Structure 1
Amino acid sequence: MKFSDASSTRALRMFECFANEGKPLSLSEISAFMNTPISTCHALVAVLREGGYLYTNRKSKRFYPTKRLLRVAESIAVNDPIVSYFEPYLRQLSKATQETVILGTRQDDSVVYLEVVEGPQVIRYSAEPGDIKPLHSSAIGKLVLGEMPNEERARILAQLSLDKVTDSTVVERTALDEQVRDAHAAGVYQTCGENVSDVMAIAIPVIVYDDLFGVAVAGPRERMKAEYEAIQGALMQVRLALKMDFD
């Protein structure tokens, strides 16, 4: 089963369509959802069926993914050395704080979430692995900026598009630079309503195999504020445990 770069992107988008709709789809529906010509979708569906990733309902002529993609994804996830290493600590942290815990790292001029352990609270911050967040408005993004050498940070800040994600987002470069410098000195980074208006997040940096990762706790702003010291303490304990284990 061979794909061009464009076809690979369309294949991923097609699976996202099935995930969003949660039901079998006809070829015309796939074409409409993807805003892609039927002829292109037909060729892509044929390749995915041949590879065992899609099957067709004979009566309705609709398509749906088989579990082959799930098996491939599970195999990939189980063998991710970074996530596997962090996972027990992330779960421990979520249990201690009762909030959502996130593992993220830099991806170009953004942050990508590698793992998310959602807290048990009914009202909580929700996210998914693979989510992409801005450097300037997310806690792990600020961590990435703050842990850079000064010269690199100045260069990155000069080229970043500092979009106003919420009313609280810091979009003035000098103010953002000062904020992340102060956070670097304290060893803790945070956002308060800057990426999601009613969410606060607190993050710490961790170095593994010479790569920088951020571990963050995120939840409703008022609850996070009330438990700030306890959450910060739990983060520091996990950071220490990670360092001792890795050393």
Structure 2
Amino acid sequence: MNFSDASSTRALRLFQCFAKEARPLSLSEISKQMDTPLSTCHALIGVLRQGGYLYTHHESKKFYPTKRLLQVAQGIAANDPLASIFEPYLRKLSEATRETVILGTRQQDSVVYLDVIEGPQVIRYTAGPGDIKPLHSSAIGKLILGEMDPDERARVIKRLALEKVTDNTVIDRAALDAAVSASHDAGYYTTRGENVSDVMAIAMPIIVQEEPLGVAVAGPLERVSAGFEAIVQELSALKSDLSKVFD
């Protein structure tokens, strides 16, 4: 397959449409969902069919992905040098806390989630690998800021667009700097309804090859607040175990 950058983005959006709709889609439905001309969608579908990533329902003339993309994704995930090491520890942490556990790292001036293990409870924080979160309003984002050299942190905070994600988001630069500095001294970072209303998260840093990654436990604010001390203990135990792995 030969994709331009724009076509590659459209291909990802196309697969996201199928994931969202969870059913075969016609050419016109794909065009509408993607807000993209029929001719462009037709050409994209042609390339993906030739590559074995889509097939056609002959009677309905609708399209659906084959399992080739799943096979590719599973091969990638199975060989992820970080996620494969972290996953059993993240699952153990989720089982112990019964909350959603997240592994994230810095991506320019944002955080990208590398892995997410959702908690077993009906009411829980929901997220997915690949989600992008702001540095200033997420627990792992604050962790990334807090683990920086103070001079670098000041430079980054100065250039961030501190958007008010919720009513509780800290958008004062001095207050944000002071908060993450205090969290660094405490050894853990928290958000209380700052990125998602009524959600609290607690994060701790794991240093891998001199780069900080964040592991966070997130869930309903009242429940996580009530279990705060136990969650911090579980995060501390995970940090201790992983420090031996990456030592």
1:213 maps to what in 2?
A: 213
Aligned counterparts, 1:5-16, within 5 A: 5-16=5-16
Residues of 2 paired with 1:158 and 1:211: CA distance? Answer: 22
Alpha-carbon separation, structure 2, partners of 1:199 and 1:62: 40
SS in 2 for 1:15: helix
> 3-state SS of the aligned residue for 1:46?
helix
Name the CA distance, whole Å, in 2 between partners of 1:151 and 1:225: 32
Deviation at 1:96, TM superposition (A): 1.0
* Cα separation, 2, equivalents of 1:67 and 1:130: 20
- Specify the alignment match of 2:179 in structure 1: 179
> What is the SS of the residue equivalent to 2:233?
helix
Percent identical residues: 68
Q: Which residue of 1 aligns with 2:25?
A: 25
Aligned to 1:191: 191
Q: Structure 1: which 5+ residue stretches go unaligned?
A: none
Q: Which whole-Å CA distance do the structure 2 matches of 1:192 and 1:182 have between them?
A: 16
Shift in Å, 1:209? 2.2
Amino acid at match of 1:103: L
- 1:246 is displaced (CA, Å) by 2.1
Aligned to 2:95, the other structure's residue is in SS state helix
Determine the C-alpha separation between the residues in 1 that align with 2:191 and 2:76: 32
Matched residue, 1:138 = 138
Aligned-residue Cα RMSD (Å) equals 0.7
What is residue 159 of structure 2 aligned with on the other side?
159
One-letter amino acid matched to 1:189? Y
Which amino acid in structure 1 is aligned with residue 96 of structure 2?
Answer: A
**Residue 48 of structure 2: aligned partner:** 48
Structure 1 CA distance, aligned partners of 2:239 and 2:7? 42
CA distance in 2, matches of 1:65, 1:6: 20
Q: Aligned AA for 2:8? A: S
User: 2:200: which partner in 1?
Assistant: 200
One-letter amino acid matched to 2:77: A
1:183 CA displacement: 0.3
Give CA deviations for 1:169-202 in whole Å, capped at 9, x if unaligned. 0000000000000001111000000011110000
Deviation at 1:120, TM superposition (A): 1.1
Runs of 4+ in 1 over 2 A off after TM superposition: none
Letter in 1 for 2:41: C
> Is residue 2:110 matched to residue 1:110?
yes
Paired position in structure 1 for 2:72:
72
1:202-232 residue CA offsets vs partner (Å, 9 max, x unmatched): 0000111222200000011111111100000
CA distance in 2, matches of 1:14, 1:223: 38
Q: Which amino acid aligns with 1:74?
A: Q
| TM-score of the superposed pair, with normalisation by structure 2 | 0.99
**Partner residue in 1 for 2:246:** 246
Matching of residue 89 in structure 1 with residue 92 in structure 2: no
Q: What letter corresponds to residue 118 of structure 1 in structure 2?
A: E
Report deviation, 1:78: 0.5
How far residue 25 of structure 1 moved from its aligned partner, in angstroms, is: 0.8
Structure 1 stretch displaced more, 152-161 or 70-79: 152-161
Whole-Å Cα distance in 2 between the matches of residues 231 and 161 of structure 1? 31
Q: TM-score, normalised by structure 1?
A: 0.99
CA distance in 2, matches of 1:235, 1:27: 48
Matched residue type, 2:102: I
> CA separation in 2, counterparts of 1:227 and 1:37?
51
CA distance in 2, matches of 1:29, 1:219: 36
Deviation at 1:245, TM superposition (A): 2.4
- Give 3-state SS (helix, strand or coil) of 1:81's partner: coil
